[in-house]
Protein backbone atom coordinates (compact mmCIF):
# COMPACT_ATOMS: atom_id res chain seq x y z
CA UNK A 1 0.00 0.00 0.00
CA UNK A 2 1.15 3.54 -0.69
CA UNK A 3 1.17 6.19 2.02
CA UNK A 4 1.06 9.93 1.50
CA UNK A 5 2.88 12.59 3.48
CA UNK A 6 1.62 16.15 3.92
CA UNK A 7 3.86 18.67 5.64
CA UNK A 8 2.71 22.09 6.84
CA UNK A 9 5.19 24.85 7.59
CA UNK A 10 3.09 27.29 9.60
CA UNK A 11 3.94 30.43 11.51
CA UNK A 12 5.12 28.87 14.75
CA UNK A 13 6.12 25.34 13.79
CA UNK A 14 5.76 22.50 11.32
CA UNK A 15 3.51 19.49 11.34
CA UNK A 16 3.41 16.28 9.31
CA UNK A 17 0.66 13.75 8.70
CA UNK A 18 0.92 10.47 6.87
CA UNK A 19 -2.27 8.98 5.42
CA UNK A 20 -3.35 5.97 3.43
CA UNK A 21 -5.09 6.43 0.04
CA UNK A 22 -8.47 6.58 1.80
CA UNK A 23 -7.32 9.59 3.77
CA UNK A 24 -7.01 7.81 7.12
CA UNK A 25 -4.26 9.35 9.24
CA UNK A 26 -1.68 6.81 10.42
CA UNK A 27 0.70 9.16 12.19
CA UNK A 28 0.86 12.86 13.05
CA UNK A 29 4.03 14.58 14.25
CA UNK A 30 4.87 18.18 14.97
CA UNK A 31 7.85 20.31 15.74
CA UNK A 32 7.73 23.90 17.02
CA UNK A 33 10.37 26.31 15.69
CA UNK A 34 12.83 27.59 18.32
CA UNK A 35 11.50 30.90 19.68
CA UNK A 36 14.46 33.20 19.34
CA UNK A 37 16.22 32.49 16.11
CA UNK A 38 17.81 35.13 13.92
CA UNK A 39 16.43 35.43 10.37
CA UNK A 40 19.59 34.07 8.73
CA UNK A 41 19.28 30.85 10.76
CA UNK A 42 15.78 30.13 9.45
CA UNK A 43 16.67 28.07 6.35
CA UNK A 44 18.79 25.73 8.48
CA UNK A 45 15.99 25.47 11.06
CA UNK A 46 13.44 24.71 8.33
CA UNK A 47 15.66 22.09 6.72
CA UNK A 48 16.41 20.40 10.06
CA UNK A 49 12.70 20.47 10.97
CA UNK A 50 11.73 18.94 7.61
CA UNK A 51 14.20 16.08 7.97
CA UNK A 52 13.39 15.53 11.67
CA UNK A 53 9.67 15.33 10.99
CA UNK A 54 10.15 12.71 8.27
CA UNK A 55 12.57 10.77 10.49
CA UNK A 56 9.88 10.60 13.21
CA UNK A 57 7.56 8.52 11.00
CA UNK A 58 7.71 4.82 11.89
CA UNK A 59 9.99 3.00 9.44
CA UNK A 60 7.34 0.57 8.17
CA UNK A 61 5.17 3.53 7.01
CA UNK A 62 8.06 5.59 5.74
CA UNK A 63 9.25 2.75 3.49
CA UNK A 64 5.86 2.72 1.74
CA UNK A 65 5.57 6.44 1.06
CA UNK A 66 4.28 7.13 -2.46
CA UNK A 67 4.18 10.92 -2.52
CA UNK A 68 4.93 14.02 -0.45
CA UNK A 69 3.48 17.55 -0.66
CA UNK A 70 4.49 20.58 1.39
CA UNK A 71 2.69 23.82 2.17
CA UNK A 72 4.39 26.95 3.47
CA UNK A 73 3.33 30.35 4.78
CA UNK A 74 2.16 32.50 1.91
CA UNK A 75 4.71 35.04 0.63
CA UNK A 76 7.63 33.74 2.70
CA UNK A 77 10.40 34.07 0.13
CA UNK A 78 14.06 33.20 -0.41
CA UNK A 79 16.83 34.16 -2.84
CA UNK A 80 19.11 31.25 -3.71
CA UNK A 81 22.22 30.65 -5.76
CA UNK A 82 22.41 28.02 -8.53
CA UNK A 83 23.00 25.29 -5.98
CA UNK A 84 19.82 26.26 -4.15
CA UNK A 85 21.72 27.76 -1.23
CA UNK A 86 19.98 30.79 0.30
CA UNK A 87 22.20 33.86 -0.12
CA UNK A 88 20.15 36.23 2.07
CA UNK A 89 17.88 35.82 5.07
CA UNK A 90 14.39 34.82 3.96
CA UNK A 91 11.69 37.50 4.05
CA UNK A 92 8.77 36.16 6.08
CA UNK A 93 5.05 36.18 5.26
CA UNK A 94 4.32 39.21 7.47
CA UNK A 95 7.40 41.27 6.55
CA UNK A 96 6.15 44.60 5.23
CA UNK A 97 9.49 46.26 4.49
CA UNK A 98 8.62 46.34 0.77
CA UNK A 99 5.73 48.78 1.36
CA UNK A 100 7.46 51.92 0.06
CA UNK A 101 8.90 50.18 -2.98
CA UNK A 102 5.53 48.63 -3.73
CA UNK A 103 3.91 52.05 -3.52
CA UNK A 104 6.49 53.50 -5.92
CA UNK A 105 6.07 50.52 -8.26
CA UNK A 106 2.30 50.46 -8.18
CA UNK A 107 2.13 51.44 -11.86
CA UNK A 108 3.73 48.18 -12.99
CA UNK A 109 0.84 46.00 -11.80
CA UNK A 110 -2.79 46.23 -12.92
CA UNK A 111 -5.21 47.99 -10.59
CA UNK A 112 -6.65 45.80 -7.84
CA UNK A 113 -4.01 43.09 -8.29
CA UNK A 114 -3.20 40.91 -5.22
CA UNK A 115 0.51 41.81 -5.58
CA UNK A 116 -0.37 45.34 -4.46
CA UNK A 117 0.21 44.76 -0.78
CA UNK A 118 3.13 45.52 1.49
CA UNK A 119 3.79 41.84 2.19
CA UNK A 120 3.29 40.29 -1.27
CA UNK A 121 6.02 38.11 -2.81
CA UNK A 122 6.49 40.78 -5.47
CA UNK A 123 7.01 43.49 -2.83
CA UNK A 124 9.78 41.29 -1.39
CA UNK A 125 11.37 40.71 -4.80
CA UNK A 126 11.37 44.45 -5.52
CA UNK A 127 12.82 45.15 -2.09
CA UNK A 128 15.74 42.81 -2.87
CA UNK A 129 16.25 44.57 -6.22
CA UNK A 130 16.52 47.89 -4.37
CA UNK A 131 18.92 46.45 -1.79
CA UNK A 132 21.13 44.58 -4.25
CA UNK A 133 24.31 46.01 -2.70
CA UNK A 134 23.73 43.83 0.36
CA UNK A 135 23.47 40.72 -1.82
CA UNK A 136 26.29 38.58 -3.16
CA UNK A 137 25.70 38.53 -6.90
CA UNK A 138 28.63 36.31 -7.93
CA UNK A 139 26.41 33.37 -8.82
CA UNK A 140 23.78 35.02 -11.05
CA UNK A 141 21.05 34.29 -12.00
CA UNK A 142 19.58 34.07 -8.54
CA UNK A 143 16.55 31.89 -7.94
CA UNK A 144 13.53 33.53 -6.34
CA UNK A 145 11.60 30.89 -4.38
CA UNK A 146 8.88 30.53 -1.79
CA UNK A 147 9.33 28.56 1.41
CA UNK A 148 7.36 25.53 0.11
CA UNK A 149 9.28 25.60 -3.23
CA UNK A 150 12.61 25.53 -1.45
CA UNK A 151 11.66 22.78 1.00
CA UNK A 152 10.38 20.65 -1.90
CA UNK A 153 13.65 21.29 -3.74
CA UNK A 154 15.58 19.87 -0.76
CA UNK A 155 13.77 16.57 -1.42
CA UNK A 156 13.55 16.39 -5.25
CA UNK A 157 16.62 18.46 -6.16
CA UNK A 158 15.05 20.37 -9.08
CA UNK A 159 15.65 24.05 -8.53
CA UNK A 160 13.16 26.75 -9.53
CA UNK A 161 9.72 25.12 -9.37
CA UNK A 162 6.65 26.52 -7.68
CA UNK A 163 2.85 26.25 -7.80
CA UNK A 164 0.12 28.69 -8.72
CA UNK A 165 -1.01 29.23 -5.15
CA UNK A 166 2.35 30.41 -3.88
CA UNK A 167 2.97 32.53 -6.99
CA UNK A 168 -0.37 34.39 -7.03
CA UNK A 169 1.12 37.18 -4.91
CA UNK A 170 4.21 37.22 -7.12
CA UNK A 171 1.99 38.21 -10.03
CA UNK A 172 1.53 34.88 -11.86
CA UNK A 173 -1.59 34.95 -14.05
CA UNK A 174 -3.56 31.98 -12.74
CA UNK A 175 -6.35 32.37 -15.28
CA UNK A 176 -4.01 32.12 -18.30
CA UNK A 177 -1.26 30.11 -16.59
CA UNK A 178 1.69 32.31 -17.43
CA UNK A 179 3.69 35.20 -16.03
CA UNK A 180 2.15 38.38 -17.47
CA UNK A 181 4.18 40.71 -19.66
CA UNK A 182 4.07 43.56 -17.10
CA UNK A 183 5.88 41.30 -14.66
CA UNK A 184 8.47 39.71 -16.96
CA UNK A 185 9.30 43.13 -18.44
CA UNK A 186 9.99 44.41 -14.94
CA UNK A 187 12.04 41.37 -13.86
CA UNK A 188 14.11 41.17 -17.07
CA UNK A 189 14.96 44.88 -17.40
CA UNK A 190 18.59 45.21 -18.56
CA UNK A 191 19.26 47.83 -15.91
CA UNK A 192 18.21 45.57 -13.02
CA UNK A 193 21.21 44.91 -10.79
CA UNK A 194 19.95 41.43 -9.84
CA UNK A 195 19.38 38.86 -12.58
CA UNK A 196 16.51 36.81 -11.22
CA UNK A 197 15.06 33.51 -12.29
CA UNK A 198 11.34 33.24 -11.56
CA UNK A 199 10.13 29.74 -10.70
CA UNK A 200 8.41 27.54 -13.24
CA UNK A 201 4.79 27.23 -12.08
CA UNK A 202 2.81 23.97 -11.84
CA UNK A 203 -0.68 23.16 -10.59
CA UNK A 204 -0.54 22.35 -6.86
CA UNK A 205 -0.27 18.58 -6.43
CA UNK A 206 1.46 17.98 -9.79
CA UNK A 207 4.25 15.41 -9.41
CA UNK A 208 7.57 17.27 -9.82
CA UNK A 209 9.88 14.29 -9.62
CA UNK A 210 11.22 11.51 -7.46
CA UNK A 211 13.25 12.27 -4.36
CA UNK A 212 17.02 12.30 -4.85
CA UNK A 213 18.98 9.14 -4.15
CA UNK A 214 20.73 10.89 -1.30
CA UNK A 215 17.41 11.79 0.38
CA UNK A 216 16.07 8.29 -0.19
CA UNK A 217 19.07 6.81 1.62
CA UNK A 218 19.30 9.46 4.33
CA UNK A 219 15.61 9.37 5.26
CA UNK A 220 14.77 5.75 4.43
CA UNK A 221 12.16 6.71 1.88
CA UNK A 222 11.51 4.58 -1.24
CA UNK A 223 13.49 5.65 -4.33
CA UNK A 224 10.27 6.11 -6.31
CA UNK A 225 8.65 8.41 -3.77
CA UNK A 226 7.44 11.47 -5.67
CA UNK A 227 7.42 15.09 -4.49
CA UNK A 228 4.40 17.12 -5.65
CA UNK A 229 4.02 20.86 -6.20
CA UNK A 230 2.84 22.40 -2.92
CA UNK A 231 0.54 25.17 -1.81
CA UNK A 232 0.14 27.82 0.90
CA UNK A 233 -0.79 27.04 4.50
CA UNK A 234 -4.24 28.61 4.36
CA UNK A 235 -5.20 26.78 1.16
CA UNK A 236 -3.91 23.52 2.63
CA UNK A 237 -6.18 24.15 5.63
CA UNK A 238 -9.11 24.67 3.24
CA UNK A 239 -8.31 21.43 1.40
CA UNK A 240 -8.22 19.60 4.75
CA UNK A 241 -11.91 20.39 5.31
CA UNK A 242 -13.00 18.17 2.45
CA UNK A 243 -14.84 21.00 0.66
CA UNK A 244 -14.78 20.30 -3.08
CA UNK A 245 -17.94 21.75 -4.72
CA UNK A 246 -18.81 25.33 -5.68
CA UNK A 247 -20.79 26.97 -2.87
CA UNK A 248 -18.94 25.13 -0.10
CA UNK A 249 -17.10 27.38 2.31
CA UNK A 250 -14.78 27.25 5.28
CA UNK A 251 -15.05 29.90 8.00
CA UNK A 252 -12.01 30.12 10.22
CA UNK A 253 -12.91 31.40 13.69
CA UNK A 254 -9.42 32.07 15.00
CA UNK A 255 -8.11 35.38 16.32
CA UNK A 256 -9.71 36.94 13.27
CA UNK A 257 -12.63 35.90 11.07
CA UNK A 258 -11.55 34.45 7.71
CA UNK A 259 -13.99 33.31 5.04
CA UNK A 260 -13.14 31.08 2.07
CA UNK A 261 -15.76 30.18 -0.53
CA UNK A 262 -15.33 27.79 -3.45
CA UNK A 263 -16.78 29.43 -6.55
CA UNK A 264 -17.26 28.76 -10.26
CA UNK A 265 -16.11 32.29 -10.98
CA UNK A 266 -13.16 34.25 -9.58
CA UNK A 267 -13.92 37.34 -7.47
CA UNK A 268 -11.33 40.02 -6.93
CA UNK A 269 -11.81 43.36 -5.23
CA UNK A 270 -8.82 45.03 -3.64
CA UNK A 271 -11.07 47.49 -1.74
CA UNK A 272 -12.19 44.62 0.47
CA UNK A 273 -8.96 42.62 0.26
CA UNK A 274 -10.81 39.96 -1.75
CA UNK A 275 -8.86 37.84 -4.21
CA UNK A 276 -9.20 34.39 -5.74
CA UNK A 277 -6.93 31.41 -5.90
CA UNK A 278 -7.36 28.84 -8.63
CA UNK A 279 -8.36 25.36 -7.48
CA UNK A 280 -8.39 23.14 -10.58
CA UNK A 281 -11.31 24.50 -12.60
CA UNK A 282 -12.79 26.33 -9.63
CA UNK A 283 -11.83 29.43 -7.66
CA UNK A 284 -11.26 29.88 -3.98
CA UNK A 285 -12.33 33.37 -3.02
CA UNK A 286 -12.60 35.00 0.37
CA UNK A 287 -11.85 37.81 2.74
CA UNK A 288 -10.70 38.46 6.29
CA UNK A 289 -12.28 40.65 8.97
CA UNK A 290 -10.54 42.01 12.06
CA UNK A 291 -13.40 40.81 14.22
CA UNK A 292 -13.15 37.32 15.77
CA UNK A 293 -11.76 35.36 18.70
CA UNK A 294 -9.17 37.98 19.71
CA UNK A 295 -12.04 40.27 20.79
CA UNK A 296 -13.71 37.42 22.70
CA UNK A 297 -10.40 36.79 24.47
CA UNK A 298 -10.35 40.44 25.63
CA UNK A 299 -13.40 39.71 27.80
CA UNK A 300 -13.41 35.96 28.47
CA UNK A 301 -11.03 33.07 29.07
CA UNK A 302 -11.50 29.99 26.85
CA UNK A 303 -13.00 28.22 29.87
CA UNK A 304 -15.53 31.03 30.39
CA UNK A 305 -16.36 30.98 26.69
CA UNK A 306 -17.31 27.35 27.07
CA UNK A 307 -19.32 27.58 30.30
CA UNK A 308 -21.13 30.83 29.44
CA UNK A 309 -21.93 29.65 25.91
CA UNK A 310 -23.68 26.62 27.37
CA UNK A 311 -26.10 28.99 29.11
CA UNK A 312 -27.10 30.74 25.87
CA UNK A 313 -30.25 29.70 24.03
CA UNK A 314 -28.95 29.79 20.46
CA UNK A 315 -32.41 29.71 18.93
CA UNK A 316 -33.34 33.12 20.37
CA UNK A 317 -31.72 36.14 18.80
CA UNK A 318 -29.89 38.70 20.95
CA UNK A 319 -31.08 42.32 20.70
CA UNK A 320 -27.45 43.51 21.02
CA UNK A 321 -25.90 44.74 17.79
CA UNK A 322 -22.12 45.06 18.05
CA UNK A 323 -19.20 45.35 15.65
CA UNK A 324 -16.55 43.65 17.83
CA UNK A 325 -13.06 45.00 17.08
CA UNK A 326 -9.93 45.48 19.19
CA UNK A 327 -9.16 48.77 17.48
CA UNK A 328 -10.81 50.89 14.84
CA UNK A 329 -10.91 49.83 11.22
CA UNK A 330 -11.95 46.87 9.12
CA UNK A 331 -11.57 45.94 5.47
CA UNK A 332 -14.04 43.13 4.93
CA UNK A 333 -17.03 42.93 4.75
CA UNK A 334 -16.97 46.69 5.44
CA UNK A 335 -14.06 48.60 4.02
CA UNK A 336 -13.61 51.49 6.45
CA UNK A 337 -10.20 52.11 8.05
CA UNK A 338 -11.87 54.28 10.69
CA UNK A 339 -14.78 51.97 11.54
CA UNK A 340 -15.05 52.23 15.36
CA UNK A 341 -15.40 49.13 17.55
CA UNK A 342 -19.06 48.91 18.66
CA UNK A 343 -19.38 47.09 22.00
CA UNK A 344 -22.12 49.08 23.74
CA UNK A 345 -24.50 48.79 25.49
CA UNK A 346 -22.81 46.21 27.69
CA UNK A 347 -25.28 44.29 29.88
CA UNK A 348 -24.27 43.34 33.44
CA UNK A 349 -25.06 39.72 32.68
CA UNK A 350 -22.02 38.01 31.06
CA UNK A 351 -24.16 35.41 29.30
CA UNK A 352 -26.18 38.14 27.59
CA UNK A 353 -23.00 40.02 26.67
CA UNK A 354 -21.37 36.93 25.15
CA UNK A 355 -24.61 36.11 23.34
CA UNK A 356 -24.51 39.59 21.78
CA UNK A 357 -20.86 39.16 20.77
CA UNK A 358 -21.32 35.72 19.19
CA UNK A 359 -24.43 36.84 17.39
CA UNK A 360 -22.78 40.02 16.10
CA UNK A 361 -19.76 38.12 14.75
CA UNK A 362 -22.20 35.69 13.08
CA UNK A 363 -23.91 38.68 11.42
CA UNK A 364 -20.55 39.95 10.13
CA UNK A 365 -19.80 36.46 8.78
CA UNK A 366 -23.16 36.34 6.96
CA UNK A 367 -22.54 39.81 5.58
CA UNK A 368 -19.13 38.63 4.35
CA UNK A 369 -20.58 35.71 2.39
CA UNK A 370 -23.26 38.05 1.07
CA UNK A 371 -20.54 40.48 -0.08
CA UNK A 372 -18.71 37.70 -1.95
CA UNK A 373 -21.94 36.68 -3.65
CA UNK A 374 -22.81 40.28 -4.59
CA UNK A 375 -19.43 40.44 -6.31
CA UNK A 376 -20.23 37.33 -8.34
CA UNK A 377 -19.23 34.28 -6.28
CA UNK A 378 -21.30 31.08 -6.36
CA UNK A 379 -24.05 31.18 -3.69
CA UNK A 380 -23.22 29.58 -0.37
CA UNK A 381 -24.42 25.97 -0.02
CA UNK A 382 -22.74 24.73 3.18
CA UNK A 383 -20.20 25.93 5.71
CA UNK A 384 -17.38 24.04 7.45
CA UNK A 385 -15.73 25.66 10.45
CA UNK A 386 -12.09 25.73 11.52
CA UNK A 387 -10.18 27.55 14.30
CA UNK A 388 -10.76 27.85 18.05
CA UNK A 389 -14.42 28.90 17.66
CA UNK A 390 -15.24 25.66 15.81
CA UNK A 391 -15.53 23.82 19.11
CA UNK A 392 -18.48 25.97 20.21
CA UNK A 393 -21.72 24.20 19.16
CA UNK A 394 -23.88 27.03 20.52
CA UNK A 395 -22.12 29.47 18.24
CA UNK A 396 -22.51 27.06 15.31
CA UNK A 397 -26.28 27.02 15.84
CA UNK A 398 -26.40 30.84 16.05
CA UNK A 399 -24.34 31.11 12.86
CA UNK A 400 -26.57 28.60 11.09
CA UNK A 401 -29.54 30.90 11.80
CA UNK A 402 -27.83 33.73 9.93
CA UNK A 403 -26.15 31.73 7.18
CA UNK A 404 -29.26 29.64 6.43
CA UNK A 405 -27.23 26.71 5.05
CA UNK A 406 -26.13 23.41 6.64
CA UNK A 407 -23.21 23.74 9.05
CA UNK A 408 -21.00 20.69 8.51
CA UNK A 409 -18.05 19.11 10.30
CA UNK A 410 -14.79 19.33 8.33
CA UNK A 411 -12.96 16.03 7.72
CA UNK A 412 -9.95 17.66 9.32
CA UNK A 413 -8.69 21.15 10.03
CA UNK A 414 -4.90 20.70 10.04
CA UNK A 415 -3.17 22.17 7.00
CA UNK A 416 -0.79 19.17 6.94
CA UNK A 417 -3.79 16.96 6.21
CA UNK A 418 -4.71 19.21 3.26
CA UNK A 419 -1.13 18.88 1.96
CA UNK A 420 -1.43 15.06 2.24
CA UNK A 421 -4.64 15.27 0.20
CA UNK A 422 -2.66 17.12 -2.47
CA UNK A 423 -0.07 14.35 -2.40
CA UNK A 424 -2.69 11.73 -3.10
CA UNK A 425 -4.08 13.73 -5.90
CA UNK A 426 -7.24 15.66 -5.08
CA UNK A 427 -6.07 18.48 -7.25
CA UNK A 428 -4.03 17.26 -10.19
CA UNK A 429 -6.06 19.11 -12.82
Positions in the binding site for ligand ADP (CB under 6 A): 254-255, 293-294, 296-297, 302, 305-306, 309, 387-389, 391-392, 395
Cβ–Cβ under 8 Å, residues 106 and 182 = no
Residue placing its CB nearer to ligand ADP in the complex, 54 or 386:
386
CA distance 297 to 327: 14
Cβ–Cβ under 8 Å, residues 26 and 256 = no
Residue placing its CB nearer to ligand ADP in the complex, 5 or 239:
239
At closest approach, how far in Å is the CB of 237 from ligand ADP?
A: 10
At closest approach, how far in Å is the CB of 387 from ligand ADP?
A: 3
Using CB positions, name the residue nearest to ligand ADP: 388
Which H or E run contains 210? strand 207-210
Residue placing its CB nearer to ligand ADP in the complex, 255 or 381:
255
How remote is the C-alpha of 161 from its chain's centroid? 19
Residue placing its CB nearer to ligand ADP in the complex, 394 or 426:
394
Residue placing its CB nearer to ligand ADP in the complex, 271 or 303:
303
Residue placing its CB nearer to ligand ADP in the complex, 225 or 403:
403
HSE-up of residue 378 (Cα within 13 Å, Cβ side): 19
At closest approach, how far in Å is the CB of 207 from ligand ADP?
A: 31
CA distance 222 to 212: 10
At closest approach, how far in Å is the CB of 305 from ligand ADP?
A: 4
At closest approach, how far in Å is the CB of 377 from ligand ADP?
A: 23
Q: Which of 148, 190, 155, 189 lies closest to 169 in space, CA to CA?
A: 148
Which H or E run contains 69? strand 65-72
Phi and psi, residue 121, nearest 5° = -60, -40
CA distance 356 to 352: 6
At closest approach, how far in Å is the CB of 289 from ligand ADP?
A: 12
Amino acid sequence: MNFYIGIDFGTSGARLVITDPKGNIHQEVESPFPESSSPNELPVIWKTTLFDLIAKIPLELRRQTGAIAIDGTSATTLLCDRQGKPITSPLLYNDGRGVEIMEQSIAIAPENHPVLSATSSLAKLLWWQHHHREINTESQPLYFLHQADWLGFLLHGKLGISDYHNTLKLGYDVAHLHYPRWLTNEINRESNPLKLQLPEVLAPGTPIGEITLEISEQLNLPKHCVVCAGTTDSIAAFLASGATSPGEAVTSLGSTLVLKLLSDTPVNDARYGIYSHRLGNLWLTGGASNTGGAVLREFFSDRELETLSNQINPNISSPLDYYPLLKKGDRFPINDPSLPPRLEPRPDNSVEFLHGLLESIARIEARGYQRLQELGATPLSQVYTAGGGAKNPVWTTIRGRYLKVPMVQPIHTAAAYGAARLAYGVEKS
